[in-house]
Amino acid sequence: MANIREIARLAGVSVSTVSRVLNNHPYVSGEKREIVLKTIQELDYSRNINAVHLSRGKTNMVGIVLPTINHPYFSNLLDGIAEEAMQRNIQLVLFQTGYKQEKELEALEQLRGHLIDGLIFCSRALSFNNLMIYKGFGPIVLCEDADQKEFPSVSIKHVEAFNLGLDFLISKGHERIAICLGRLEGTNSRKRQEAYTNKLEMLRQEVHSDWIIGDCLMFEDGKRVIHHFENMPNKPSAFLVGNDQVAAGMITEAINRGFSIPDDLAICSFDNHPVSEMMGISTIDIPAKQLGTSAIQAFLKRTADPGYAEKIVLPFELIVRKSV
């Protein structure tokens, strides 16, 4: 396969002239431009993009770090990212890490090695200090509500949203409230647990450790929660659930086991996934796709201004349905 030097040789021009034609630069005569284009076509020439990236020092590629694609929040977020990226001719390199820190570090190493121009962390297991090490290697955008001023971020106020859910359940007369979260380990998860503990204390309610359930990501996890619920000595009367899929699993299994929603068990969740409308679930609408769009915009702003570190916070909204 031909390279630029061969094209130049056969067209009888210099490598610079060929490069000018390839890049639509001015100051190339019409005659020379045509003969170069003709030669390119005849040899079916296509330039090596690795060489272009190397010599330009930029790739127009952005890395996306997420734990899993197969989760409605992440697939919505990725959808927003991907659509905005397509509009801006940005290519996406996917890093599905499963929250493995060494995989997240690999993504950061790719940023350091100039394969990608920036990174968007949809969620992360790596510590903030680890991220700080890589701050100078290119724009890093965090899709999280964290107390930090080093990186631009896009998020909703998860703790406030969580409190809204708790307050809504309380306003409906529930005081014995359990929670289901995707994970118990992250900064945000710990904050939610704190918020939950604080609210129960306000209600003078005992905090039951078995009313804080982790590892709830999908529908099947929701079913498992109901098995757990059945065997609780002290049963809650309501659940605040991390996402609609889990809530739907819980409702499906609860009904199968003769419980009545919301009489025996009220359920409020997050996302406003279509399944929540299907199942009549009260939910807090999280604009994940719009978060994704904003993440790409934040990446571009940071690229233009390395000091840019705005925290973009999008609103959320409670949607009341039958499950509470």
Partner DNA sequence: ATAAATTGTGGAACGCGTTTCAGGTCAAGA
Partner DNA sequence: TCTTGACCTGAAACGCGTTCCACAATTTAT
Residues near DNA (CB under 7 A): 1, 3-5, 12-20, 22-23, 26-29, 31-32, 46-48, 51-52, 54-57
323 binds its own copies per the rule CB under 8 A: no
Residue 305 class from Cβ within 10 Å (0-12 exposed, 13-18 middle, 19+ buried)?
exposed
User: In angstroms, what is the minimal distance from the CB of 66 to DNA?
Assistant: 28
Enumerate the β-bridge partners of residue 212.
Answer: 179
**Contact criterion met (CB below 8 Å) for 74 and 66:** yes
User: In angstroms, what is the minimal distance from the CB of 26 to DNA?
Assistant: 6
Task: State which residue, 53 or 311, has the beta carbon closest to its own copies.
Answer: 53
Tell me the backbone φ, ψ of residue 155, rounded to 5 degrees. Answer: -170, 175
**Contact criterion met (CB below 8 Å) for 281 and 321:** yes
User: In angstroms, what is the minimal distance from the CB of 36 to its own copies?
Assistant: 18
199 binds its own copies per the rule CB under 8 A: no
Q: Among DNA, its own copies, none, what binds residue 15 when CB lies within 5 to 8 Å by partner kind?
A: DNA
Task: State which residue, 115 or 309, has the beta carbon closest to DNA.
Answer: 115
Q: What share of the chain is helix, strand, coil (3-state, %, to 5)?
A: 50, 15, 40
**Contact criterion met (CB below 8 Å) for 115 and 267:** no
Beta strands in the chain (DSSP E): 61-66, 91-96, 118-121, 140-142, 153-155, 177-180, 212-213, 238-241, 266-271, 282-285, 311-313, 317-319
Whole-angstrom distance, CA of residue 315 vs CA of residue 324: 22
Task: State which residue, 4 or 313, has the beta carbon closest to DNA.
Answer: 4
**Contact criterion met (CB below 8 Å) for 97 and 104:** yes
Q: Which residue has the tokens 């930029």?
A: 58
Q: Among its own copies, DNA, none, what binds residue 32 when CB lies within 5 to 8 Å by partner kind?
A: DNA
What residues numbered 48-67 form the site for its own copies, per CB under 8 A? Answer: 48-54, 59, 61, 64
Q: Among its own copies, DNA, none, what binds residue 91 when CB lies within 5 to 8 Å by partner kind?
A: its own copies
Q: Among its own copies, DNA, none, what binds residue 126 when CB lies within 5 to 8 Å by partner kind?
A: none
Task: Give residues in contact with its own copies (CB under 8 A).
Answer: 46-54, 59, 61, 64, 68-70, 75-76, 78-79, 82-83, 85-86, 91-98, 103, 109-110, 112-115, 218-220, 245, 248-249, 251-252, 274-275, 277-279, 289
